[in-house]
Each structure stands twice: as C-alpha cells, then as structure tokens.
Amino acid sequence: SETQGRKKERSNHKKEFQLGNQMATVDVNIRIDFETDYNELVLDVGKVTLGEKNRNSMKDKQRKKRQKEAVSRAMCALLNSGGGVIKAEIENTEYKYNEDGIGEDLEISFSDMLPRVLNYLDFMQNANTFLIFVKSWSLDSSGQQIVTLRTNLYSKNTTSTIVMDGTHALAFLQEKKTGSRLFSTPKTNAMKVPTDVHEESSVVDSPSEFFSKTKLTYRSKVNFSESTFVATKLVPDRDEFGEKEKSKREDVLEFMKEEVPQYVSAFANTDGGYLFFGIHSKTKEIIGFEGQPWYLSEIEKTIRELPVHHFCKEKKTINYSCKLIEVHDEERHRGYVCALHVDRFCCAVFVEEPDSWHVKGNHVMRFTMEEWIKRMVDGEAG
C-alpha cells in the first residue's frame, strides 16, 4: 500500500545527522561528483535501468522505486539549488536513448514536479553514462517558490482523503498565516443527525452518537455514510463479508498506525471529523477486529508524533479523542471498533516533513518543515 511504501522509504537510503541546532536528513544514495569535467554542480545517482521496456520488466520493484526516488530527489535538489547535472550509470548495456526513451515512471515523476518541467531539462547519453542537464528554476505562475515531490499535507474532499499538491498547499498555508477562512470549506456540523434516520433500533443515527457508545452489536448498521467528516475502514483481519482472514494482530495495529496519520492530517486541516476502523464502508455493517486495549496508546503516540507548524501564538496540540468500543453478538465478544474524533486544527498538520530537497554543503538534503514553509510562504531561504 501507499502508506507501507512510505514507511519503508523512511527507513532506507536516508541518514540523519546534527547540523547546527537541528537534525538534517541526507540522501546517501546521491553524491556530489567533484571529479567532473563540467563546470556545473554534478549529482551522481549511481546505476539506473533506463528505457520503457527495460524498466517495466524489472523484477526487483524496490530497486526500481529506489532508482526513481534517487533521480527525482536529485532533480528536485538541482531545481531548488540553481541547476546542474544528474549523472547516472546505465545499468542495461544495450540501452539507446533515441530508441528506448527514459521510462514512463521516471517521466511521470519529472512532470509531477512542475507542469512544464521539460522546459528545464535536456537529456544526453554518453556511452554507458546518462546525463540530465537541469536548468535553474525560479518562481512560477502558481506562486510556488520551491519544487516539492510531495507536500505531505492532507485535506478531506467529500469521501476522498488527498495529499495537497504545491498550489493547494501554498493557498492553504497562506490562509492559515493570515487567519482567514477564504480557502477552506464552510463549517459544517459533523455531529448533525441525518434527516433520513432509520427506524430500526439497531441503526446508529450519527457519528457523534456512535462515538458515545460503550458497546456495539455485531453486524448492526450505522445510518451515516462516508463524507467530508466521516471515514470508515475495515482492517486486515476481516474480509469484505466480515469473516476472519489469516492475519497477525500486529498487522492490524500496524495497518491502523499507517492509516491514522493521513486521516488526522486531512481532518485537522479541513473541518474535523471521525475515523472508524471496523465498519464496512459499503454495507455500513459493524464488523470490528481482534485487538487489545493497549492499541490505543500506540495510536495516540502516532498522532502525537505528527509534525505540526504554527502561525499562531497559542501553539496548541492536535485535539482528538480515541477509543475502542467492544463489539458483541448474542453469544460472545467479537472484537472492537476503533473510533477516532479529530477537531479542526488551528494551523497545519503534516503526515511527515515535506519531501523537498536541495544541495547544502556537500550533501543532497531534505528541507526541514520550517525551511520549506519559509520558502513556500515567505520566499525566504530556510
């Protein structure tokens, strides 16, 4: 899954070390080539398989992903640092740039950085070396002052939880800085009881009523649907029919810990809302999952560790409530539903620090959240 991929990415090919009074993240797979004949800054990304057919046939998907990330980060760093050259050793010896192209996944990663990124790039093959010449980039028509691979800021849009692109993030941050609500959607009461309340007693009427429950009936139904303010998810130990699947309890907890950050960020950055684990999103049935009461402390720890940035003086923490609600049928305890309520946050909640890079000293370094926001909102160097 996307969240699992992000978790693996955080543990690979990056190193943190002390720089001044803060921790800096460096991509150790990218090195500066000091022995080059070029006058420009040259970043060496190592071996890369190139060409549409060759990249599609790569069996080691993690290697393919690492190669794409190294090239993308190097490009992002050069665009943010006055330009330069990306140097790669061509892994597939029969490769010919004019015939084989670069590879769709690489091309998509380039175009995701900037709308007209090809205006800043030139490509050249020199024997078994591939060179990408990156021109200097500055403020574009969207107002963005920095190139970003992924903002790691989320928002909620009806039933979708989306990561903001650079333009969206810039508008959101500017709104938060000025204290206006021009950018966000009008406030809606997430606790409002729907008008089409089901008459059966086994039906729970609203998210707030559901959240206040201490016990739930297995396979009873809720009367609310997924929306800007509500998200429901099954967990890996049950299939779509509510039957148990082979899955370790640790997998259930890990799944929730991976999903929670994006929903907390999205709800906090929009207008608040509820996340329920153990409810079928289509049938609205309460299914539950096998778990332990101590899961709560792990989930709360995950929430507390989310990066937040304040424009205000109060500097409040994320306001949330989290609980496990027991699920029973007529015969026995069937597990739990995990219920999480998140309030709208005063400023900005990230899933992790923005995925944006620059060259500093002799390293390709990730911008800290504070550096990135200064560049985004104020146009200042971090």
Whether 275 and 233 have beta carbons less than 8 Å apart is answered as: yes
The DSSP code sequence of 308-336 is: EE-SSSS-PPP-EEEEEEEEE-SSSEEEE
Q: Is 175 a catalytic residue?
A: no
Pairing between β-strand 273-277 and β-strand 230-233 as defined by DSSP bridges: parallel
Q: Which of 335, 318, 225 shows the shortest CA–CA distance to 280?
A: 225
Tell me phi and psi for residue 337, to 5 degrees: -110, 135
Whether 50 and 130 have beta carbons less than 8 Å apart is answered as: yes
Cα separations (Å) of 222 from 201, 218, 267, 362? 10, 11, 20, 57
Catalytic residue among 40, 226, 258, 300: 226
Q: Burial, 57: exposed, middle or buried (Cβ in 10 Å; 0-12, 13-18, 19+)?
A: exposed
Whether 337 and 242 have beta carbons less than 8 Å apart is answered as: no
Measured between its terminal Cα atoms, the distance across the chain in Å is: 33
Q: Is 298 a catalytic residue?
A: no
Q: Which of 192, 118, 112, 172 shows the shortest CA–CA distance to 147?
A: 112
Catalytic residue among 243, 305, 330, 331: 243
- Cα(113)–Cα(377) distance, integer angstroms: 18
- Beta-carbon count within 10 A of 317 CB: 11
- Rounded to the nearest angstrom, the gap between the alpha carbon of residue 45 and the centroid of all alpha carbons in its chain is 24
| Tokens matching residue 373 | 């926001």
- What are the residues whose beta carbons fall under 8 Å from the beta carbon of 34, sequence distance 6 or more? none
Catalytic amino acids? Answer: 226, 243
